[in-house]
Each structure stands twice: as structure tokens, then as C-alpha cells.
């Protein structure tokens, strides 16, 4: 039986409820497929949307930034926020202008971030973040963050307790009266990108590209 999150006033859908999901497995799968989120919150009475890298660790979301940064200070102080993660999978071209759409997967999370202050906890969380963005990188002889660097970095964590997913898949939903129109209809599917690896221009000729580069996701 699927484990689901509770439906709240923030996560309840008023339209297209058949596309909604509160299944933890669905939400986690969408989160794990990405590395960039947008954090929306209010700062001094003004709306702000902050794009930043993230990773899911168990039922928590981890982000990081400059400890003295204005927006990360606001989040560390417990600003109520909405986090969104979206994936565009295809452009849906219908026979009528009204029924054009996109195939997508998205998650919205609501809550407050908490700042990690203990240095070892910050290091572990940042290792999770790097592993999520570039699996295998932390085992490749890179220099660990110094105490000074850890102190300069804000590491924030949010419990994934109030969230919902929304997914649109499949072909266009044309009206029956439009089915005979002489126009192409279907989906322009977004395929995984072919990555190009460009070595740093400072004497790496003798170092082979590691295999884990192929696991990096965009």
C-alpha cells in the first residue's frame, strides 16, 4: 500500500485532480530526478524566488549558500516558503490552440528551513548534496571543505511533510470535432541530453575523465 502525505489547504488541488499525487514514492522520484529547485518566500514584504541546487536525503530537502547572504539569512531565520521542482518532458501539440499543453512532472513543498550549525553535520549534508549532483565526486581525491569554508556556508534543511506532485503525460486531448482537421498532432518528446565534457584549461592532459561523469544529471 502506497505511503502518502496528508492533504492540506496548501497542497489540495482544485483543478485536474487526476494529475495530483501525494504518494511519497512519486514525490521522491520527481525530486531525485533533479538538482535545481526554486524557493519562494517573502523578504521584508517583497516576494522572492531563489533558484538553488538541492538534494533529497531521506525525507528532508537540503540546500546551501553563502552564510552572510541576505536571502539565506532570511530562510535560516525560519521564513515560510514554497519550494518547487519541475521537469519538462515534452511539448504537446494538439489540433486546436486551446488543447496545446506540455508533459511535465513537478513537486511543490511547503514549510520552513532550519539551519545546521554543527560543522560535522554540515559536512555530511554537503557531501549528500555533492553526491546528488555528481555521484562519485567526493571519492575522487577532491580537497574537503576547511573549517573556514564550512563556517562561510549556510546549510539549510527542510522536512518533507507537506508536499504534492502533479504529472501530465500522454498525447493531446483533442475534441472529437477536431479529429479530422488536416494538421499534425502529437508530442515533441524531450530526450536526455548528450553531455560534453570540457576539461579545465590548466594542465589536465594526463588525467583521464572519470567514469562517474556519465552519471551527472541535468
Residue range 67-105, pLDDT digits in tens: 999 999 999 999 999 999 999 999 999 999 999 999 999
Contact 109, 61 (CB under 8 A): yes
Superfamily of domain 17-215: Electron Transport, Fmn-binding Protein; Chain A (2.30.110.10)
Condensed to tens digits (0 to 9), the pLDDT of residues 21-68 reads: 999 999 999 999 999 999 999 998 999 999 999 999 999 999 999 999
Residue 145 has pLDDT above 90, yes or no: yes
Cell, residue 23: 504518494
* Domain residue ranges in the chain: 17-215
Residue 165 β-bridge partners: 21, 107
With CA atoms as reference, report the closest residue to 62 among 148, 124, 144. 124
DSSP per position, 69-99: -HHHHHHHTT-EEEEEEEEEEEEEE-SSGGG
Q: Which pTM value belongs to this model?
A: 0.89
Contact 156, 77 (CB under 8 A): no
User: How much of the chain is in helix, strand and coil states, percent to nearest 5?
Assistant: 25, 35, 40
**Segment 183-191 mean pLDDT:** 88
Tell which wins on pLDDT, 217 or 112.
Answer: 112
Amino acid at each position: 500500500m502506497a505511503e502518502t502525505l496528508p492533504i492540506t489547504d496548501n497542497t489540495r488541488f482544485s483543478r485536474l485532480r487526476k494529475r495530483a499525487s501525494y504518494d511519497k514514492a512519486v514525490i521522491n522520484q520527481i525530486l531525485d530526478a533533479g538538482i535545481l529547485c526554486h524557493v519562494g518566500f517573502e523578504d521584508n514584504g517583497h516576494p522572492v524566488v531563489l533558484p538553488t541546487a538541492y538534494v533529497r536525503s531521506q525525507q528532508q530537502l537540503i540546500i546551501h549558500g553563502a552564510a552572510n547572504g541576505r536571502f539565506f539569512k532570511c530562510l535560516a531565520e525560519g521564513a515560510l516558503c514554497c519550494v518547487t521542482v519541475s521537469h519538462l518532458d515534452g511539448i504537446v501539440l494538439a489540433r486546436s490552440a486551446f488543447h496545446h499543453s506540455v508533459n511535465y512532472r513537478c513537486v511543490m513543498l511547503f514549510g520552513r528551513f532550519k539551519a545546521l550549525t554543527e560543522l560535522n553535520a554540515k559536512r555530511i549534508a554537503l557531501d549528500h548534496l555533492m553526491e546528488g549532483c555528481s555521484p562519485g565526486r567526493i571519492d575522487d581525491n577532491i580537497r574537503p571543505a576547511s573549517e573556514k569554508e564550512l563556517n562561510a556556508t549556510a546549510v539549510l534543511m527542510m522536512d518533507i511533510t507537506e508536499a504534492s506532485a502533479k504529472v501530465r503525460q500522454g498525447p493531446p486531448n483533442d475534441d472529437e470535432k477536431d479529429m479530422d482537421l488536416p494538421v499534425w498532432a502529437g508530442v515533441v518528446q524531450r530526450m536526455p541530453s548528450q553531455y560534453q565534457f570540457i576539461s579545465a584549461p590548466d594542465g589536465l592532459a594526463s588525467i583521464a575523465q572519470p567514469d562517474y561523469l556519465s552519471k551527472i544529471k541535468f
